[in-house]
Amino acid sequence: MHRIEITTKPNGAGRNWLEVGNFETDALGRKQWVKKNVPHQESKLTVDRQYSPRGETIDWIVIIPENYPFTLVKVTYDRLNPKELEVLWDPDAATSQSETDREEKIKRVFELAAGNDELTTLLKELL
């Protein structure tokens, strides 16, 4: 499970919000954002939203399951930058990161067990 905490500003200048979707490449080779849903209406996501006392900002906590197939982005809109996307979670990056985390943990376990032959052979059998 991945946990993302972020604050958005839904109204006024420099407003922003969260969207769930995919990046697709069109016929001309350009990467286009395709919105599927919003996080609080997506059934696979666990979402908690807390509005500020005056309703100016929203504090989000989004819990993403392991094999969630969509990308989570923060969309920022203002007059100078009509639509700017910030990727908060990408399924491709998450899987590669979890694999490297696992490899680093295995390496660390073998470093800790370096002096103990019995433990080292047991780890080799298990992993």
Cα separation, 46 vs 104, whole angstroms: 29
Confidence at residue 80, expressed as pLDDT on a 0 to 100 scale? 79
User: Can you give the pLDDT at residue 86?
Assistant: 92
With contact defined as beta carbons under 8 Å apart, do 99 and 51 qualify? no
Q: Report pLDDT for 106.
A: 81
Could you tell me the pTM of the whole model? Answer: 0.69
* Local confidence pLDDT in tens for the 127 residues of the chain: 889 999 999 888 889 999 999 999 888 888 899 999 999 999 899 999 999 988 899 999 999 998 899 999 999 998 877 888 999 988 887 655 556 677 888 888 888 888 888 888 888 887 7
Helix (H, G, I), strand (E, B) or coil at 50: strand
How far is it, in rounded angstroms, from Cα 58 to Cα 50? Answer: 6
> Cα(35)–Cα(103) distance, rounded to whole angstroms?
34
Angle made by CA atoms 55, 20, 25, in degrees to the nearest 5: 140
pLDDT recorded at residue 47: 95
